[in-house]
């Protein structure tokens, strides 16, 4: 099976498996989505969803968040990894949104990536899910599965993103990146599948016997 055939098969199977793709991080608007994605670095979505209700109650808008003491923000997110750094970034980010962007989340990659704690993946999630702009955020699940499915070499997350964008139609990116994440959590997990176990790996590579050693992001 050629690479484009594998990509087409992946898209077909994931559309069947996950026709609906709810955003895993609880939020109510672009600002709360941005903060939730920032907080999710090196944390599970479940843990982030446990702490954000109280945080967003205290700081529901950029102005309200900017008015909070950094210590108050830290109090709400202290259960998360890198909590001190994240608290500092959330405070600074909110202040910049108020001072530079009239209290609004900017709808451009360049302006988002200029904010504290916001990298390309976070910006891509916000652009895709808050503003509907085609993007393909690559997390650890997507990076791993793209290698197992023979869709990318896995040299870097940047290379994986480029490869996937070439293989899949642009209008599928925003939904597909969530579908791959869901599948990576449910079926093709880091420990539960080595490239020979889950249904899609078996379908794409029926004769594969050796495990796939994937490169880390």
Give the length of the chain: 217
**Closest CA relative to residue 23, chosen from 49, 41, 47:** 49
Catalytic residue among 139, 165, 166, 216: 139
DSSP states of 111-143 as a string?
HHHTSTT--HHHHHHHHHHHH--------HHHH
CA of residue 93 relative to chain centroid, distance: 19
Catalytic residue among 15, 121, 166, 171: 121
Q: Does 139 participate in catalysis according to the annotation?
A: yes
What dihedral angle (degrees, nearest 10) is formed by the CA atoms of 185, 215, 127, 171? Answer: -80
Annotate 96-120 with b (16+ C-beta within 10 A) or e (fewer).
bbbeeeeeebbeebebbeebbbbeb
Cα 180 to Cα 14, 19, 54, 144, 175: the distances in Å are 7, 12, 30, 10, 9
Cβ(18)–Cβ(157) under 8 Å? no
As a whole number of angstroms, the distance between CA 3 and CA 140 comes to 21
Q: Does 155 participate in catalysis according to the annotation?
A: no
Q: Which residues are catalytic?
A: 121, 139
């Amino acid at each position: 099976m050629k690479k484009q055939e594998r990509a087409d098969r992946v898209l077909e199977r994931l559309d069947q498996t996950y026709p609906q793709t709810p955003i895993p991080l609880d939020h109510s608007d672009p600002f709360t989505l941005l903060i939730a994605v920032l907080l999710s670095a090196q944390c599970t979505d479940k843990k982030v969803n446990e702490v954000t209700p109280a945080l967003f109650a205290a700081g529901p808008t950029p102005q309200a968040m900017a008015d909070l003491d950094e210590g108050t923000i830290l109090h709400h997110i202290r259960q998360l990894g890198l909590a001190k750094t994240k608290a500092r970034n959330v405070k600074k980010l909110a202040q910049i949104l108020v001072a530079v962007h009239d209290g609004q989340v900017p709808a451009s990659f360049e302006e988002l990536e200029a904010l504290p704690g916001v990298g390309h993946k976070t910006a891509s999630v916000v652009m895709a899910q808050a503003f509907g702009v085609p993007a393909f955020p690559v997390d650890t699940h997507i990076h791993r599965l793209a290698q197992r499915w023979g869709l990318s070499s896995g040299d870097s997350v940047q290379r994986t993103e480029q490869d996937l964008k070439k293989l899949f139609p642009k209008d599928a990116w925003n939904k597909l990146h969530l579908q791959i994440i869901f599948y990576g959590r449910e079926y093709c997990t880091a420990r539960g599948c080595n490239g020979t176990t889950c249904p899609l790996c078996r379908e794409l590579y029926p004769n594969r016997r050796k495990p796939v050693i994937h490169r880390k992001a």
